[in-house]
Amino acid sequence: MSNHSSEKIQLIEQQVKQWLEDVVIGLNLCPFAAKPNRNKQIKIFVSEDNNENDLLETIYMQFKELDETPPETLETILVVAPYLFEEFDDYNQFLDLVEGLVVQLGKSGTYQIASFHPDYCFYGAEPDDAENLTNRSPYPVFHLIREESMAKVIKHYPNPEAIPDRNIECVENLTPEQMRQLFPYLIK
């Protein structure tokens, strides 16, 4: 068993929940997150793994749980990896393995992965660009999404293509005080 205390795990879970509620939902970065959060259909799973093979196995088990649980009960899972991927590049490389896993499981088109990291940096962006904030989380997170559910909500959402641009505009307009409040884990 791991040597990470349950208090520490609970704290991490609490921080991720706070981020989900204040940033993702609070800033409406993902217009689809509020409802499943209200309905308690989002699972935050804090992985205690400290090597990539174990984490891949853990993510596999979470996909299995999504397979076996109806969306009404469990819409989506955030797998948090607090003990791995200090470097965003390492996280990004591992993400390829997770996407490979989806393909191997024959689940392309069933699941997709959204990625979040404390040092998230979009391709072509500078590390200090505000746009990166839309994907910066307190810990490395792999968000396992049901494509079907996503397709359903997007159908009823006006202009979903505009969401990323709107999000960037939103985070670029935050005051320094709002930034400190919403992203305390980024203030080094």
Q: For residue range 10-46, what is the model confidence (pLDDT) as tens digits?
A: 999 999 999 999 999 999 999 889 999 999 999 999 9
Q: Is the pLDDT of residue 188 over 90?
A: no
Q: Would you tell me how many other CB atoms lie within 10 Å of the CB of residue 147? A: 13
| Average pLDDT of span 168-180 | 94
- Compute the chain's Rg from CA coordinates: 16
Q: Which amino acid is at 170?
A: C
Residue among 20, 4, 23, 180 nearest 84 (CA): 4
In degrees and rounded to multiples of 5, residue 141 shows phi and psi of -130, 135
Write down the pLDDT at residue 157.
86
Q: What does pTM read for this prediction?
A: 0.95
**Cα 108 from Cα 32, distance rounded (Å):** 21
Rounded Cα gap, residues 138 and 16, in angstroms = 6
Residue 4 pLDDT class (50, 70, 90 cuts)? confident
Closest by alpha carbon to 157, among 146, 145, 166, 170?
166
pLDDT digits (tens, 9 = 90+) for 122-160: 999 999 999 999 999 999 999 999 999 998 888 888 888
